[in-house]
Each structure stands twice: as structure tokens, then as C-alpha cells.
Chain A
């Protein structure tokens, strides 16, 4: 990949010269006009060359839903990101399995994030959010990503795993390693660092598994896996154990972390919406869904065709990679009115593609919404304005749409 060239012109470049896998499109936040053209001119688009090999791009909301609910023709195996797995760490995780194996593994951990269990955690989350917010410097510039977004989601993740609280920063590190592979997702983490770090992750969690054996009353994710007969021996299958851990770590971390930052940015770019929120805190619930749509923290999921299939007039062949661009589905005007706009009192805010569809639909979606709701409820109790005072620095990735930094200044009520 040539990373010194400028990005191509979105209006004049022929479609067959678009490289949608170029992570700079997302790092520079330049993707909108490229996907707008594809949705209009070639919504199911074949790209014959890329650093990740050839792939199809599915760009419209309804088509994304159709691909994702057809797991017989569009498999989640062997992996669900645009690049293939690296050979040194052949992890297996249920997000990259088809039914029925996927179903039994997911069912083991799903109760941890069911709203019934979450309700019991609400006061704990709120106390952690208030501690984070009360500790922030008022009136001086700081990085919201570090001090709030990462802190909040990592503490939550430590709670779900019942992970030693003093070590919770390790979860952030492992999450970044897992999602930052250049081969898999266009990131910039070296393979060596990744291997060393994730091996440590596996060792740490293997020890936790053995220490924890026999806990009957705990709803942490490790205990749930131990109690379910389908996953009770998962620790004996290290690549599967590690894979599912990384799935839960990335799924519970990279996602909400970036929505927690994206919401601040969106409200600052749309001051009229911020005014609406100040006037009516009941808008927090619909706003949370709108933030998740607007941000689309995971930009795509990939499937692999299990057979030759005609889809929207295109002939997809067995073995072809099919990338569903949630990012584009969320800007599809044929499904979402004024899709480019951030509107906190939107009519159907939950109707978005950020959580995906079908049996792989985001398992922790209610947890994500709850964390963001509590965050904004507590922000609005304290600050009249979380002011963005500089440009954000975005993550280099084809998969995670996120932020490295967002400089802000707080104004008290």
C-alpha cells in the first residue's frame, strides 16, 4: 500500500480505482463521499485488488441486513474482518463461527449482558462514572479519550470479568493489540508486540480461570463459561479461550470507548442539538442510539460466500469476501432520513446498523447503551459544556472507527 500518496478524488476517480480498505480514508475522516457514490452508482461493489485481496463491498442498509441474516450463504468463518487471520495466533471466537457452534458458545456468556443482570450493575457503573467525572480538571485542556472514554469502558470490562481492578489498564492494552493488526485490519501494531502481549493475556486469564474454579454464585463472564457445559472445558482449548476473551474485550472496549468520545464531538459539531439536550434531559436515551449510529464504532463485518450466489444482480462466487459496511448503511438515505445529520430526537433512533443483524448482532448492545446513558446523565448534572478545543486524532484502521485523542475543556454548570 502506498501511504505517501494523497487520497484519490472521490468525485472524479473511476469506481474501480477506489480502495475502500485504505485505512487513511477513516483516519482522515474522508470516507463519506466515497460511500455515497457507491450507494448511488454501484451499491454491491467488487474491488478486484487491495492489500487484503479482492472483496465485495455491500453499502446499502437493506442489503447489509439481507447478507447478515443469510448465514447459510454468507459464512462468518474463518474470520469477520477484511484481512485474514495471522498464522502465529490462530485464535477462534464465536463471532467467527456459524451456527450451531456459535450459538452454544454465545449462549454461555449472553446472560452476563442481559438487561436483568445489567440492572443489578447500574448503581456500580454510576458510582464509577461519577468518580471519573469528579476527578476531571475543570477549565483546562485535557484528552477526553484517556481520562474518560478509556477509563470508563475498561473499568466496566474489569467488572464484567471480575478482573483484578488494579490491573484494569491491561485490558485496554490487550484490546488495542487485538484490534490493531496491520494484516487483519490495517492497523499499526507490530506482530511481535502483538504475540507477546496476547500470550500474556492468555496466561493471565488461564490463571484466573483456575483460581476461580467452583464459584457458584457469580455472574462474571469467566464463571459463566465455567458453569455452562458447552464451555466448561474452554481453558483446555487455549486458542478458543483466547479468541473468545479477545472478542469480549474488544467488543466491550473499542466500541463504547469511541461512542463515548464521538458523542462529545457530535454535540460540539451540532450546537443546536446540544441546546436541545440542555433543555430536555429526557433526550439522553434517544441520543445514545443516535450517537451509536453517527459514530458506527465498528465500520464493517466480513462474510465469506459458501457457494456461488446471485445478489442484487451481482454474481458472487464461492470463497469471495463480502464486506458489509455498517458505516455506509448508517448513512443510507433510502432507510434513514437526513442520514448525514446528527439529530438527537430522531423518530426511530434504534433503527441503525451499528450493532449488525441476525445471530451475530451485538451481544452487549444493552450494556453499551446503559453505559452511555449513565455517562450523559452524569455529565449533564455537572457541566454546561464539554467543549472540544482542537481537532481529534483518529485511529488508523479499516475496522475500528475511533479516536486517539480529543482535546476538551470543561465548563461547570
Chain B
């Protein structure tokens, strides 16, 4: 089970034992990590599970697809390392990954 660190905007840190094969969004919800709203339930349709993948982990998570990219484009706080966590399937290679959560979801 890969260990993933999620850091809220105010610095609160949550280290979770993630389950491979499930999305990062679902893992965050299952572990009651605040800051991921996931309004649409993981359908890449709302943009409220936005997160930032810490540098050096972008290769493991891969890049965003066009639909995800379009939703991210609507975020005022988008950065180069922005992703929707529902579109990242957790794998064992993500052990040690650090993910930062945004100030707000919308």
C-alpha cells in the first residue's frame, strides 16, 4: 500500500495508506482528508477535486487528458502541476508522493 502525503492549504498534513487501483480522490475521501469536495463523484465533470502534484511526481502520475485540462482551465488558481485527483489512479509507484491541496475548490 503506497504511502501518500496530502497537505492542506493551511499546512495540515495527512499521511494516508492509499489503496492502489483506486483514484487519488477516492483515497482522500476514504481517509476523510478535508479539502477535496468531489461534487460529481469522480466523473471528471466538476473540477472540485483539484490538487497540486509535488515536483518530481508528475512523471508517475502522467499528464492530464483534454477533458480534465478544460476543467482545470476554469480554475483561477491553476498551476503547471494542477491535476484533478479523480483522474489519477493510485499505483504502488506513488509510494512517498506529496500532494498539495488548493485554498478552495469551486
A209 within 8 A of B: no
Contact between B37 and A69, CB atoms less than 8 A apart: no
Q: Which bracket fits the contact residues of A?
A: 20 to 34
Q: Mark B27-63, 1 if CB is under 8 A from A, else 0.
A: 0000000000111110111111000000000000000
Contact between A114 and B106, CB atoms less than 8 A apart: yes
A203 within 8 A of B: no
Contact between A103 and B70, CB atoms less than 8 A apart: yes
A357 within 8 A of B: yes
Instruction: Give chain B nearest CB distance to A30 CB in angstroms.
Output: 29
**Nearest B residue to A351 by beta-carbon distance?**
B41
Contact between B74 and A110, CB atoms less than 8 A apart: yes
B residues less than 8 Å from A103 (CB atoms): 70, 73-74
Determine which of B46, B67, B103 lies in contact with A115 in the assembled complex, contact meaning CB atoms within 8 Å. Answer: B103
Contact between B103 and A358, CB atoms less than 8 A apart: no
With A99-B70, A103-B70, A114-B76: A357-B103 Cβ-Cβ less than 8 Å: no
A residues less than 8 Å from B43 (CB atoms): 65, 69, 357
A107 within 8 A of B: yes
Instruction: Give chain A nearest CB distance to B50 CB in angstroms.
Output: 12
The total number of A-B Cβ pairs within 8 Å is 61
Q: Which bracket fits the contact residues of B?
A: 20 to 34
Contact between A350 and B39, CB atoms less than 8 A apart: yes
Cα distance A106–B75 in the bound complex, in angstroms? 10
B71 within 8 A of A: yes
**Nearest A residue to B44 by beta-carbon distance?**
A69
Contact between B104 and A114, CB atoms less than 8 A apart: yes
Contact between B76 and A365, CB atoms less than 8 A apart: no
Report which A residues bind B (CB closer than 8 A): 65, 68-69, 71, 99, 103, 106-107, 110-111, 113-116, 348, 350-351, 355, 357-359, 361, 365-366
Report which B residues bind A (CB closer than 8 A): 37-41, 43-48, 67, 70-71, 73-74, 76-77, 103-106
Enumerate 22 A-B pairs (CB-CB under 8 Å) in ascending A order.
A69-B44, A69-B67, A99-B73, A103-B70, A103-B73, A103-B74, A107-B73, A110-B74, A110-B76, A111-B76, A114-B76, A350-B38, A351-B40, A351-B41, A355-B39, A355-B46, A357-B40, A357-B45, A358-B67, A358-B70, A361-B74, A366-B106
